[in-house]
Amino acid sequence: MSTDPEDEITEERFLEAVSALSSEEPALSQLGAAILAALHFGIAKDSRTFSRKFDIAHALALREITALSEDVSFLRVVGRNPRTQRTEYAFSENALELLSRAIG
């Protein structure tokens, strides 16, 4: 594991990524940008983890993940637990292009 300070994900670095994503794609909500940034930095790859780590209602995360996967095609849903509704997701090609433009 690298101990390079550049690899450390700080709150400031995370918020800069959210801002950069939102600026690059104005139709993207702040919550949507946060979901993409969290996936990019390896913070959360499913709805429950994102909700817990960012202290938001799971229903809000699910609604945004649905929008990101259907409306703007930035995410692909790769799994869903029917009982808990935990939804696992991955980047789409559109998201990878957006990330390369916004974050580098």
Residue 69 lies in a domain: yes
Would 3 be classed as within a structural domain? Answer: no
Identify the band that residue 7 occupies on the pLDDT scale cut at 50, 70 and 90: low
Terminal-to-terminal C-alpha distance of the chain: 22
Non-local CB neighbours of 33 within 8 Å, separated by 6+ positions: 17, 18, 19, 21, 22, 25
Q: Residue 104's pLDDT is what?
A: 80
In the chain, the number of structural domains is: 1
Q: Which domain holds residue 77?
A: 10-102
pLDDT at 2 over 90: no
Classify residue 46 by its DSSP letter.
Answer: B
* pTM strictly above 0.75: yes
Residue 1 covered by a domain: no
Output the domain CATH number for residue 37: 1.10.10.10
Question: pLDDT tier at 4 (50, 70, 90 boundaries)?
Answer: very low
The answer to whether position 31 is within a domain reads yes
> 62 lies in a domain?
yes
Is 2 inside a domain boundary?
no
* Inside any domain, residue 66: yes
Structure tokens at 73: 């095609």
